[in-house]
A and B are shown apart, each in its own frame.
Chain A
Amino acid sequence: MESFQVGEFTFPLDLSKPLYEQVLQHIRHAVARGDVLLGTKLPSVRDLAQQLKINPNTVMRAYQELDRDHLTETRRGQGTFITSDLNTVSQVKKDLAFEAVQAFVSTMKQLGIDRTTAQSLIKEVEWHE
């Protein structure tokens, strides 16, 4: 897996998974984790496509989806910016946490672990805060 630094973003790209989803998820996670300041300008489609050496259609598709979720805002002639709206950011954080929990649940199911056991495992695990 190769890693690319574009502006304030680091993009590890894995060719065995859909590229559009990876671009989308990296930006979502970067915002939810607070790695990127709110209101930050995203790299232009041209810059990101050139730096990652990927099809510009892939970048455009990811940007459109971010816009649709209101995580970014495209201002005409100026570019695409991360939202400054804290509510949107906390919603994205919640969505990502929910996705992670769902992944956890399906792994537990595959292992044949029931809900009560899984819940007690969560209680037992150390959080290292």
Chain B
Amino acid sequence: MNSALEINNLCKSYGSKKALSELTVSFPEGQVTGLLGPNGAGKSTLLKSFVGLVKPESGTIRVFGQQLSWKLNADISYLPDRAKWYKFHTVEHALSYAHKILPSFDLSRAHQMIKMMDLGLADKVSTLSKGQEARLHVILCLARNVKLVLLDEPFSGIDLISRERIIQSIIDSMLDKQQTIILSTHEIHEAESLFDHVVFLDQGHLIQEGNAEVLRQENGSIESIYRGLFR
């Protein structure tokens, strides 16, 4: 199995707190990896470092064998934790704006997804519920023909139906194109059936990783493994 990302000895501190501590880990290409760990484990910092939003103090990151660059960012779709969009846009404006600024944005696919996710084109972003806005953000990420998709907590704090719709759109996206998806989440029970691969972080360290089906065979559900690791 080829790796989409190879991370070597990555270190990043915020003041005296180590967010990533000599982290060495890789992510398989063309698969969905669940990036799991408690708050403060380093998940968001790691995802940010893949798109250059965090500058590590030391260590290397290779994405599809290349060093990070602005050019490479065109091939990466990133959904930040606590994402926000322009309040004064309608959903339709958001799509056309995304189409202008985001490389390889597939506008017709985005429109299809808006229908599937039950959003109204004329609705203003300021009037969307938290769950509806989360759906919009996921659409803006998944409607792009990119090789790597990073989703930082796409389900956090949103309603059940929105979570299910988002899971549906991730499955659709996997069927339509060959993509590497890395998804961090605390909703392990709901998301674990999507994972091909799982990476567990704690305090900036890798504590376990592996193929989700092999881990299930050996140790039971990903959720129960998580409990065992962090209790």
Residues of A within 8 A of B (CB): 13, 15-20, 45-46, 49-50, 52-58
Contact = CB atoms under 8 A, between A and B. Distances in A.
Given A53-B193, A55-B196, A19 B171 contact: no
A19 B175 contact: no
11 contacts: A15-B216, A16-B220, A18-B216, A49-B175, A53-B171, A53-B194, A55-B193, A56-B171, A57-B196, A58-B193, A58-B213
Nearest to B191: A53
Contact of A45 (B175, B189, B221): B175
- The number of chain B residues touching the other chain, given as a range, is 20 to 34
B164 interface: yes
Nearest to A61: B213
B88 to A, nearest CB: 35
The binding surface of chain B is classed by DSSP as helix
Contacts of B175: 45-46, 49, 56
A17 B167 contact: no
A125 to B, nearest CB: 31
A13 B196 contact: no
Interface in B187-223: 189-190, 192-196, 213-214, 216-217, 220-223
B174 interface: yes
Nearest to A20: B213
Contacts of B184: none
A28 B157 CA distance: 40
A53 B168 CA distance: 7
Q: Of residues A19, A20, A52, which shows the largest number of chain B Cβ atoms within 10 Å of its Cβ?
A: A19
B164 A55 contact: no
Given A15-B189, A15-B193, A55 B216 contact: no
A16 B224 contact: yes
Interface string B100-141: 000000000000000000000000000000000000000000
Of B193, B196, B220, most buried by chain A (CB within 10 Å of CB) is B193
B217 A18 contact: yes
Nearest to A60: B175
Nearest to B211: A18
